[in-house]
Amino acid sequence: MIYVYFLVAIAIVVAAQRVGNLRAKRGLYFALGVALLCAPIFDRNDATFNVLADAGIFVILALGLNIVVGYAGLLDLGYAAFFAIGAYTYAMMASPQFNLHLPFWLLLFLAAAFAALFGIILGAPTLRLRGDYLAIVTLGFGEIVPQIFQNLTKYTGGPNGIGALDFPSFFGRSFGQNTIPYYYVVLGLIALVLLFANNLRDSRLGRAWMAIREDELAARHMGINTTAVKLAAFALGASFSGLAGVVFAAKLSLVSPDLFQFQVSVLIVSMLVLGGMGNVPGVVVGALVLVLVNNVVLPQANVIAANVGLHVDFGNYHFFIYGAILVAIMLFRPEGLLPSRQRKEELHHAAA
């Protein structure tokens, strides 16, 4: 059953990308939105919506990173750090840890702001670096943040993290153990993030990002304040990650430093690379495909293998899958599986 959701969503997004007719496109997205909103009425399987909510969290992450990497062309290899900052914001302010019990909805904003602030703190001194150096600096930042959360045992619970986080509540009604409320929160956030991502792309700021991606020197000479514009990309991308972190922490009711390692950053980069950096539908599809593989296909493959007496743990092959995606796509289809037309032409032009 879970496959139906993923495959239908992927199929609709791909179809919408293919049709040229704007009305047909809108119709398809509208139908998908309505279907997703109504799904819990007909399907009461909590586990399904658990996976879908997780998928949604990764869609938010991928869309956020897409602003930084896809639009502005700044490779950020430490994106999980902002995810961690969002998650720990919720964990520290809505748990018995300090006996603070701030509401979930307030913390969504606070975490987004915190993450954006850290994005600026990291970005301000580093953004004048060349692309590959910037990638390594962000990687270093991504390593430092979870390590600091792990070391400050007194405040963050150290390697064990913080547990027993508050359940969010909506007009006085607690989410409790249900996953469906999280599913709706995630859908709402995706709608918000999509609105931002789509409108930004066609805004002055979005054009400035793409100009920087194509040729920073030329962009600067056209009068773009490259530092400010890059900082905006960093801050916005980070704030999306902070939002995702809050929902992730609340849903899991637990945070620990090992949830935000380098692999998570690379997983999100893989989603972008697979789907097509810079193209919103592509990024959504990339995120859905990888979550489907990680959370559904591989565990089921384990069960099937165990049934036929094979002792293989396909969970051991996550790294291999991300690695193979990065290598294969970069070598054979650098624009990703579902690219925007401009990006495709750019990349093929650059390679020629």
Partner 1 sequence: MHEFLAQLVNGISLGGIYALIALGYTMVYGIIGLINFAHGDVYTLGSFFALTILTALGVSGELHGVALVVDVAIALIGAALLCGIVGVLIERLAYRRLRNAPRLAPLITAIGVSFILENIMQVWKGPSPVSFPAVVPNPSIAVAGVAIGAQQILLVGLAVVMMVGLQLFIHNTRLGRAMRATAQDRDAAQLMGININKTIMLTFLIGSALAGVAGFVSGVYYQSTWFFNGFGAGLKAFTAAVLGGIGNIGGAMLGGFLIGIIESFATWKFGGQWSNVTVFAILILVLVFRPSGLLGEAVFERA
Where residue 313 falls (left for φ over 0; alpha for ψ -120 to 50; beta otherwise) is: beta
Q: Which stretch binds partner 1 (CB under 8 A): 20-28, 107-115, 125-133, 223-231?
A: 125-133
What's the CA gap between 260 and 21, in Å, rounded?
41
Considering only residues 192, 218, 222, 330, which one is a binding residue for partner 1 as defined by CB under 8 A? 330
Q: How far is the CB of 200 from partner 1 (least distance, A)?
A: 21
Closest distance to partner 1 from the beta carbon of 247 (Å) = 27
In the window 72-101, what residues touch partner 1 (CB under 8 A)?
Answer: 73, 75, 77
User: From CA 15, how far away is CA 334, in angstroms rounded?
Assistant: 21
Q: How far apart are CA 177 and CA 181, in angstroms?
A: 9
| 350 lines the binding site for partner 1 (CB under 8 A) | yes
Residue count, binding to partner 1 (CB under 8 A): 43
Does the protein bind partner 1 through residue 196 (CB under 8 A)? no
Dump the DSSP string for 34-87: HHHHHHHHH---HHHHHHHHHHHHHHHHHHHHIIIIIIT----S-THHHHHHHH
- The full DSSP string for 150-165 is HH-HHHH-GGG-EE-P
Residue among 296 and 326 whose Cβ is closer to partner 1: 326
The candidate with the shortest Cα–Cα distance to 105, out of 192, 214, 34, 22, is: 192
Q: Closer CB to partner 1, residue 22 or residue 331?
A: 331
- 326 touches partner 1 by CB under 8 A: yes
With CB under 8 A as the contact rule, the residue among 81, 139, 255, 274 that binds partner 1 is 139
Instruction: Candidates 126, 241, 256, 294: give the one binding partner 1 (CB under 8 A).
Output: 126
Do residues 60 and 193 lie in contact, with contact meaning Cβ atoms separated by under 8 Å?
yes
Smallest gap, in angstroms, from Cβ of residue 140 to partner 1? 4
The rounded distance, in Å, linking the Cα atoms of 116 and 102 is: 20
Question: In the complex, which residues of this chain contact partner 1 (CB under 8 A)?
Answer: 73, 75, 77, 125-126, 129-133, 135-137, 139-141, 143-144, 147-148, 150-151, 262, 266, 269, 273, 316-320, 322-327, 330-331, 334, 347, 350-351
